[in-house]
């Protein structure tokens, strides 16, 4: 390996919104804050969890009035 061309590789702490934290190594200079980790992610826990950090679902409901997923009535075609 060439000297003095590689970034510094050091220990950092990653903290999730659920409160879990763990140590890893990275070239970043600071600790990380994440929204979802392996402790609270639905794929790993097997539980469905509703995550809407930016209010996208509410914006969609306001735009379409909550009727978007309703089945059309038999009289209308």
3-46 pLDDT, tens digit each: 889 888 899 999 998 899 999 999 987 888 988 888 887 777 77
Long-range contacts of 49-55 (CB under 8 A, 24+ apart): none
Dmax of the chain from CA atoms?
Answer: 77
pLDDT at 76 over 60: no
**Domain coverage including residue 45:** 10-64
Domains held by the chain: number: 1
CA distance 59 to 53: 12
26 occurs within a structural domain: yes
51 occurs within a structural domain: yes
19 occurs within a structural domain: yes
Tell the burial category of 35 from Cβ atoms under 10 Å away from its Cβ (0-12, 13-18, 19+).
exposed
70 occurs within a structural domain: no
CA distance 43 to 30: 28
> Residue 40 sits in a domain of what CATH number?
4.10.80.400
């Amino acid at each position: 390996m060439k000297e003095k061309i590689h970034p510094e590789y050091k220990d950092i702490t990653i903290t999730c919104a659920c409160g879990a934290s763990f140590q890893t190594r990275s070239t970043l200079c600071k600790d990380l804050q994440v929204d979802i980790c392996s402790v609270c992610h639905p794929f790993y826990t097997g539980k469905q969890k509703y995550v809407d950090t930016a209010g996208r679902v509410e914006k969609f409901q306001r735009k379409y009035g909550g009727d978007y997923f309703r089945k059309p009535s038999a009289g209308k075609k």
